[in-house]
Amino acid sequence: MTQKEGTFLVTHADEESVTVRDVVDAQVLTLSANPGLESGTVIDATLEAEPPMEVTYAVADLAAEHEIPVEVVDLEPTAQAKSLAADQPVGELTTRERAGTGELHVLTVPDGEAAATAEAVADDEETVARAGRLGVDRVEIRTASGVVSVRYLPD
């Protein structure tokens, strides 16, 4: 029987089935039954393909299930984020590892676009998938004129 172990983002969940996406390789899998999962949650699990065709999966082991909150906060980006943005042309993404766990992503955007960009990042399921891949517990988005800072943070 085929198994897949990893961290998955629940992209769709209803009473009868669930669709998950592996946060590392982006493989999409369908669970034939919903063991109580909700869209937007991140799970650490072992999934097992169901015979005879092995096109749907069942949860063999659910090691962890958690939501990763993504929040646009009313704070200025840090001095480090502003410094990273200062040397970049508009439209650039700069990524830095944080001391310990997590990452800092700094996007340079046209003046007047920071708030809209922050909301788009907050609404993008890839933001949660990336947080799951990084093993962090929350995402904080900060804005200033021409700068959007996305902080992937431990609890």
Number of domains in the chain: 2
- Looking at 52, 67, 82, the residue that finishes a domain is 67
Q: Are residues 14 and 61 in the same domain?
A: yes
Q: Are residues 61 and 11 in the same domain?
A: yes
pTM of the model: 0.90
Give pLDDT, residue 1.
61
CATH number at residue 57: 2.40.50
Q: Are residues 114 and 126 in the same domain?
A: yes
Give pLDDT, residue 107.
96
Give pLDDT, residue 99.
81
Q: Are residues 93 and 59 in the same domain?
A: no
Strand pairing of 18-22 and 3-13?
antiparallel
Sign of CA dihedral 120, 126, 132, 133: negative
Q: Are residues 77 and 148 in the same domain?
A: yes
Q: Are residues 9 and 60 in the same domain?
A: yes
Q: Is 65 left (phi over 0), alpha (psi -120 to 50) or beta?
A: beta
Q: Are residues 54 and 74 in the same domain?
A: no
Q: Are residues 79 and 115 in the same domain?
A: yes
- With CA atoms as reference, report the closest residue to 78 among 125, 141, 3: 141
- What are the CA-CA distances from residue 154 to residues 54, 77, 86, 101 (Å)? 36, 18, 26, 6
For residue 98, the enclosing domain spans 70-153
Q: What averages of pLDDT result for each successive group of 10 residues across the chain (155 residues)? A: 92 94 96 94 96 93 96 95 92 91 95 96 96 95 97 92
Q: Distance between CA 33 and CA 49 in Å, rounded?
A: 12
Give pLDDT, residue 20.
97
Q: Are residues 75 and 146 in the same domain?
A: yes
- Looking at 44, 67, 90, the residue that finishes a domain is 67
Q: Compute the chain's Rg from CA coordinates.
A: 18
